[in-house]
């Protein structure tokens, strides 16, 4: 936008941010929420015609939303079988968490060695700590990963931020198979923040790594618990 001053001079003003959401983005958001809250479980078929009728959109919009979910790692397309919610295999989980551990452990080390302030991390932990025990699972996942996102973000490295953002949906999909309590999740993240504040880089890295790989162990063979967990979270 060009602003013309009283003296006739012109200058460029920063454009105002737009908050429009496309129909495809809105559908992706709706399906993502249903996947994470357990309504659409791992392996569930995503039927193009049915979803087009449910949401009152065209089939092209549904197909575009499917492509985005596949890109994010939340769904998979198989020839002659269509699109379904991804059911993370043990190999997929280990690969994802090996990548995640490398990223987050390095962030933990840098935070301690550079004495980076933990204001953002503590703010994210406060949001997690404020959730009621009966909170919905998707809200708990968002708050949980909010702490980890803040840890990576504290370093101030844009590429690390982008790397974390690229795996968030896959991580949330994997975590959605777990059955745990808000108080347990909060306690684990308090321990991470204490380690980051300890001034001991080795302790901070070890605490983050142990937390992540303990989650990997918990995810082994837990897919059948998803429906039970969702009922409890809603109740």
How do the domains of the chain map onto residue ranges?
A: 23-85, 90-234
CA pair distance 118, 135, nearest whole angstrom: 26
Q: Take residue 14 and report the two structure tokens written for it.
A: 């920063």
Q: pLDDT: is 188 or 221 the higher one?
A: 188
Domain 90-234, CATH among 1.20.120.530, 3.10.290.10, 3.40.190.170, 1.10.3720.10? 1.20.120.530
pLDDT value of position 221: 56
| 82-136 per-position pLDDT tens digit | 999 988 888 889 999 999 999 999 999 999 999 999 999 999 999 999 999 888 8
Q: pLDDT: is 169 or 220 the higher one?
A: 169
| 183-215 per-position pLDDT tens digit | 889 999 999 999 999 999 999 999 999 999 998
Return the CATH class of domain 23-85.
mainly alpha
pLDDT value of position 41: 84
CA pair distance 142, 124, nearest whole angstrom: 10
Do the beta carbons of residue 127 and residue 143 sit within 8 Å?
Answer: yes
Do the beta carbons of residue 23 and residue 61 sit within 8 Å?
Answer: yes
pLDDT value of position 45: 93
The per-residue pLDDT of the chain, averaged, comes to 85
pLDDT value of position 104: 98
Percent of the chain, pLDDT > 90? 57
* Predicted structure pTM score: 0.76
């Amino acid at each position: 936008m060009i602003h013309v001053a009283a003296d006739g001079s012109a200058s460029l003003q920063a454009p105002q941010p737009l908050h429009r959401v496309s129909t495809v983005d809105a559908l992706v958001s709706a399906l993502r929420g249903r996947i994470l809250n357990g309504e659409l479980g791992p392996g569930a078929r995503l039927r193009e015609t049915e979803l087009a009728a449910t949401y009152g959109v065209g089939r092209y919009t549904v197909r575009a939303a499917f492509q985005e979910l596949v890109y994010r790692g939340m769904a998979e397309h198989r020839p002659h079988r269509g699109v379904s919610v991804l059911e993370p295999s043990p190999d997929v989980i280990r690969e994802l968490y090996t990548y995640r551990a490398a990223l987050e452990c390095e962030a933990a080390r840098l935070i301690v060695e550079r004495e980076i302030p933990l204001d953002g991390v503590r703010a994210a932990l406060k949001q997690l700590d404020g959730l009621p025990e009966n909170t919905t699972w998707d809200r708990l996942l968002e708050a949980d990963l909010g702490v980890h996102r803040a840890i990576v973000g504290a370093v101030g490295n844009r590429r690390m931020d982008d790397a974390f953002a690229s795996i968030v949906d896959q991580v949330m999909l994997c975590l959605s198979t777990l059955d745990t309590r808000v108080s347990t999740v909060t306690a684990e993240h308090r321990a991470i923040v204490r380690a980051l504040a300890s001034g001991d880089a080795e302790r901070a890295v070890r605490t983050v790594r142990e937390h992540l790989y303990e989650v990997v162990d918990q995810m082994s063979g837990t897919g059948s618990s998803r429906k039970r967990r969702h009922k409890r979270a809603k109740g």
